[in-house]
Each structure stands twice: as structure tokens, then as C-alpha cells.
Amino acid sequence: MKKLMLLYALAIGCLAPTAQAAEFSAAAPTVLITGSNRGIGLEFVRQYAAAGWNVIATCRSPAKASELKALAEANPQIAVERLDLLDHAGIDALAARYAEQPIDIIVNNAGLMRGPDRGQMIGTIDYDEFDRFYRTNAAGPVKVAEAFYKNIKKGDRKVISALTTGRGKHGIPVPGFSLYKTSKAALDALQVEMAIRWKRQGVKVITLMPGRVPTHDEAPGTVQNAVAVEDSVAGMIAILDNATMEQSGQSIRWNGEPVQYE
Ligand SMILES: NC(=O)c1ccc[n+]([C@@H]2O[C@H](COP(=O)([O-])OP(=O)(O)OC[C@H]3O[C@@H](n4cnc5c(N)ncnc54)[C@H](OP(=O)(O)O)[C@@H]3O)[C@@H](O)[C@H]2O)c1
């Protein structure tokens, strides 16, 4: 009986297994961020929270997200939630719990970024990893956008964004990153599809390039043209703040320059 009651409570959202006790402000705009536990995603949480936004800060393992949880303990407008891009049922369940919540901006930040390795080199491609890269980096952000589309329509700003990287010769200039680069190129194309599909609904779909941001404990001075995470995120937030319908479907660098491949 107890087990049944627990299951019922979970189903109706009384007990959210990973949610902090957030108190959102009805007057503040709301952002949903994926991959919020570290790197660029954590900095997005810091800056949006400092600006007074309600933040749905999602990550794969909230229990291990110590820096994120510390931010949420100090600020009731941050809700920490579990979201794994490979778990579509979990994404739908989270969207169901937030069904009534307008969301102004989605930041599809989470991604599988790794390399160089032989499994990503043409000639020795690892096809299990191929699936994992594409399911994470290409399908994952689209699934998040689909699941929270109704929330975006309820929001004032109606912006769906995703973080990408350069492709082909414009991307990471050493071999061993092919699955990373091409799964992000697939994401770029899917972003354009979403922009076309949801144009009439006034939804702006913006693809962001954060620059080369050292987030993996790189030794100081080893990343050429490095951009500090604080600057990269501040620049991307400014782009999202000022996004227009004309920019929907475009890719834009963190400093506001449009990306032109052709
Ligand atoms: N840093 C750069 O120079 C750079 C340049 C171009 C583009 N980008 C893009 O910018 C984004 C953020 O970069 P970053 O440097 O902050 O990356 P990062 O430090 O590698 O962090 C990646 C984030 O994505 C999460 N993630 C990975 N797989 C996931 C999954 N299946 N479901 C949910 N979350 C998942 C990670 O969670 P866990 O902690 O659980 O692994 C982590 O929070 C990425 O999309 C990256 O491709 C970064």
C-alpha cells in the first residue's frame, strides 16, 4: 500500500525525486539549461540566477552536482532537475511536471565532447560511439525542444538555443574529432529545421558558438585564442536577450558575429 501511495505521489508530481525546493518568481523570466553541473552550463546558471531569472538547471546526476547544488541552496529561484539527453521518457516526465510553467529560453548546452580518439577517425570509426554521439548531440537537443515546446509557447521570449562547434575545416583542426564535429553539424541542420517549422508560432531558434572555452582543466596558455567562460556566456546571453525573428535559424558566435560557412 505504502509503495502504491509513493508511486501515486511521484506520478502526480508531489514528490520530485531530484528537485530542490525552488520558489520561482511569477514576475521573473524563466530559462531551462541542460548540462548545468559544470563548464559552460554552470556559468549560464550563475549568470541567469544573478540576473534574477528563474532557472531550471538540469543535469544527468544531480546528486553529484555539488557546485550546482550549492548555488541552488543559496538561491530559491534555481531548481535542480535530472535530465539525461539519452532518456526520452525521463525528458517527457520532467516536461509533464513543468506543464504549467512558461519558459522563455531553452539553452541546449549539454553535449558529448571528447577526443581525439581512433573511434572518431575516418578509417577506424567506432559505430557504437557513432550512435552515442548522434543520439546525444543531435537527437538530444531536438527532443528537449519538442518536449518543452508548449512551455516555450507560453513564455514571452520564445527562444530555443543550442551550442555548437565549427564543422569540417572550420572545426577543431586535428583528426580524431569527426563524430563530435559531425554530430554537431547535424544539430545545426536540425536547428534550421526547427526554425522553419516553428516560425509562424514566433519561436526563435538560435545556434550559438561559444568560442574555445577551456572547461577541461587545460593547462594555462595551452588553448589558442581561448575565451574565458564568463565572457563567452555573457556574450551568448546578450545574443539571446536581443534575438530577433530574422536571426532564427542562424548560427552566431559568442561575440555576436554571424557564422558564414559558404
Ligand atoms: N568548451 C568549448 O570550447 C566548446 C566549443 C564549442 C562548443 N562547445 C559546446 O558547448 C557545450 C558546453 O561545453 P563545455 O565545454 O561546458 O562541455 P563539458 O565541460 O564537456 O560539459 C558537457 C556537459 O554536457 C553534459 N552531458 C553530456 N552527455 C549528456 C547527456 N547524455 N545528458 C545530459 N547531459 C549530458 C555533461 O554532463 P556530465 O557532467 O554528467 O558528463 C556536462 O554537464 C557543449 O555542447 C559543447 O559541445 C564547447
Pocket test for ligand 1, best of 33, 85, 109, 136 (most atoms within 8 A of CB): 109
Rounded to an integer, the average pLDDT of 182-190 is: 98
Please check the confidence at residue 18 and state whether its pLDDT lies above 60: no
97 Cα: distance to centroid of ligand 1 (angstroms): 25
CATH number of the domain residue 228 falls in: 3.40.50.720
Rounded to an integer, the average pLDDT of 124-133 is: 98
Domain containing 75 equals: 29-214+223-253
Residue 169 has what pLDDT?
83
The model's pTM: 0.93
Q: pLDDT of 199-252, one tens digit each?
A: 999 999 999 999 999 999 888 888 889 999 999 999 999 999 999 999 999 999
- Measured on CA atoms in the order 77, 202, 161, 227, is the torsion positive or negative? negative
Answer yes or no: is 122 within a domain. Answer: yes
Residues in contact with ligand 1 by the CB-under-6-Å rule are 34-35, 37-41, 59-61, 84-86, 109-113, 136, 163, 165, 210, 212-213, 215
Answer yes or no: is 22 within a domain. Answer: no
Q: pLDDT of 87-109, one tens digit each?
A: 999 999 999 999 999 999 999 99
Structurally, the chain folds into a number of domains equal to 1
Share of the chain above pLDDT 70, in %: 92
Residue 20 has what pLDDT?
47
Answer yes or no: is 260 within a domain. Answer: no
Please check the confidence at residue 6 and state whether its pLDDT lies above 70: no
Answer yes or no: is 99 within a domain. Answer: yes
Answer yes or no: is 111 within a domain. Answer: yes
β-strands 105-108, 30-33: how paired? Answer: parallel
Rounded to an integer, the average pLDDT of 30-45 is: 98
Answer yes or no: is 229 within a domain. Answer: yes
Confidence of residue 158 (pLDDT cuts 50, 70, 90): very high
Q: pLDDT of 61-72, one tens digit each?
A: 999 999 999 999
> What nine digits make up the cell of 246?
530574422
Report the 10 Å Cβ neighbour count for 7: 11
> What nine digits make up the cell of 129?
560511439
251-to-50, 92, 134, 170, 195 alpha-carbon distances in Å: 26, 27, 19, 13, 12
Residue 219 has what pLDDT?
85
Answer yes or no: is 18 within a domain. Answer: no
Answer yes or no: is 13 within a domain. Answer: no
83 Cα: distance to centroid of ligand 1 (angstroms): 13
